[in-house]
Amino acid sequence: MISTRLSVIDEIFLRTHRGYGIPIALQGIWRSSDTVSRHELGRVHDDLALGHLGRTVAKPRIPGARLRWDISTESFPLEYGTDAVDDIIEWADGQADVPLDPQYGPGWRLTAAPLAHGGTVVSLVCSHALADAHGLINAAAQAFSSNSAPAPVLHPGSDAKDAISMILTVLVRSIAATAKLWVSKKARAELRAFTTADTGGVAPHRARQMRAVIVDIDAAEWDSAAERVGGSANSLFVSVVAATMSELGSPAVTVDIPFRTGSGDANPIGMATVAVRGDDSPAAIRVACKTAFGAPVGAPAGYPPEIVQLLPHRIAAKLTSTPGRGEVLCSNIGDIPRAVTTLGPHRSCGLATRAIHPDPRGTESTIRMSTYISRLNGSYTLSLVSTDDDLVGSSAELASAVQRALATRNLAGKPW
């Protein structure tokens, strides 16, 4: 069931468009070795407008009610460039440099361009408030397969009822949490750490320029490397990212690992945080991740997370700057659906998923590196994005660090 109200996580991403944190846009980069016509992409564009991305945020009429989703088919027009693209990543980096706005619209954009060596590259970006990575991929899958019936948007119901429910939920659970403070030393410690802004020693950096790398790794070799050392595909991913950070001068890092909660929210994700070193084995990281998933990031001491939805943006942003508390994000997107592998008669020869940051200059973030991995056509595609110039001076430096990190696991990546 699709939620018609914004969750706490949804609102965190919405606030980044209002100056509270670094703006985040999700991006899928799809490429084919042959030419996709403007007409074919026009049909995809029209279907996307009718699907899951075709909505905007609406304010409730009653104070205390949550923000709600409304249907909206407004979109940026399809942009099909005429200049051939030689550097795919450089081209893709600029595709969210438009005022994406999930509240007033448009919140997504579809663009394409011919490739210098033949073929077509396509970018689909959307505000992270509209969808998580799986939501963006599913929207693309429906549009690619001409199966984009209007997204089922349920009636949000009475604002008054929602406000009453929210206030009662926050009041009852806050009273219970406050009472618990009298008897629980652990609860008091959790609240003390939260109110003193304990971020595990992670200081925010001021973003200046985005550096990005995308590499493909043979899936059979990746899985074999993980199995040999008693790890999993996911723990090997975290291990390689930690090793990359070590190559860049950060031998010990805290890593946020998102997981799906199964809710119907736009961003149905929880967040676990684990401390890792660049020389930790995938087996050790696998154990650490399992423990972290048992204690995900959340509101402290039993207080309801929904309390921030009753507060002004400025105060809510201070309490929930990001969904996690690490300096590195490792998001495993998993297998890409078969429906996205083809667009009409055209077959994908590469697909990357990641988050990018439209005009990040001057904004602050505790996330120094965000990384993503997905699997398609026998390859894992690893995407890394950094906005911390003190960590990464150039994309070439990042690419070199990734290759050295892969080599520690007897792997090699093919750069895009």
DSSP 8-class letter at 393? S
Whether the model pTM is above 0.85: yes
- The rounded radius of gyration (Å) of the Cα atoms in the chain is 21
Note whether 389 and 360 are within 8 A (CB).
Answer: no
pLDDT tens, position by position, 143-156: 998 765 555 556 77
Which two tokens mark 227? 């199995």
Q: Which amino acid is at 208?
A: R
State phi, psi for 152 to the nearest 5 degrees: -70, 105
CA dist., res. 391 & res. 367, Å (int): 11
Reported as a pLDDT band with limits 50, 70 and 90, residue 121 is very high
Reported as a pLDDT band with limits 50, 70 and 90, residue 320 is confident
Q: Sign (positive/negative) of CA torsion 33, 36, 359, 54?
A: negative
Each residue of 255-286: b (16+ CB within 10 Å) or e? bbbbbeeeeebbbbbbbbbbebbbebbbbbbb
Quickly tell me which residue has 């490792």 as its tokens.
Answer: 330
pLDDT tens, position by position, 56-85: 999 999 999 999 999 998 999 999 999 999
What lies within 8 Å, CB to CB, of 388 at 6+ separation is 205, 207, 368, 369
Q: In the chain, pLDDT over 70 holds for what percent of residues?
A: 95
* Nearest in space to 9 (alpha carbons), one of 355, 347, 258, 334: 258
Q: Is the pLDDT of residue 221 over 70?
A: yes
pLDDT of residue 193: 79
CA dist., res. 201 & res. 257, Å (int): 18
Reported as a pLDDT band with limits 50, 70 and 90, residue 198 is very low
Note whether 350 and 328 are within 8 A (CB).
Answer: no
CA dist., res. 290 & res. 394, Å (int): 34
Each residue of 78-106: b (16+ CB within 10 Å) or e? bebeeeebeebbebbbebbebebbbbebb
Quickly tell me which residue has 């991006």 as its tokens.
Answer: 27
Average pLDDT for the chain: 92
* Nearest in space to 31 (alpha carbons), one of 82, 92, 90: 92
Note whether 19 and 362 are within 8 A (CB).
Answer: no
Note whether 23 and 363 are within 8 A (CB).
Answer: yes
pLDDT tens, position by position, 332-367: 999 999 999 999 999 999 999 999 988 776 677 889
CA dist., res. 146 & res. 133, Å (int): 20
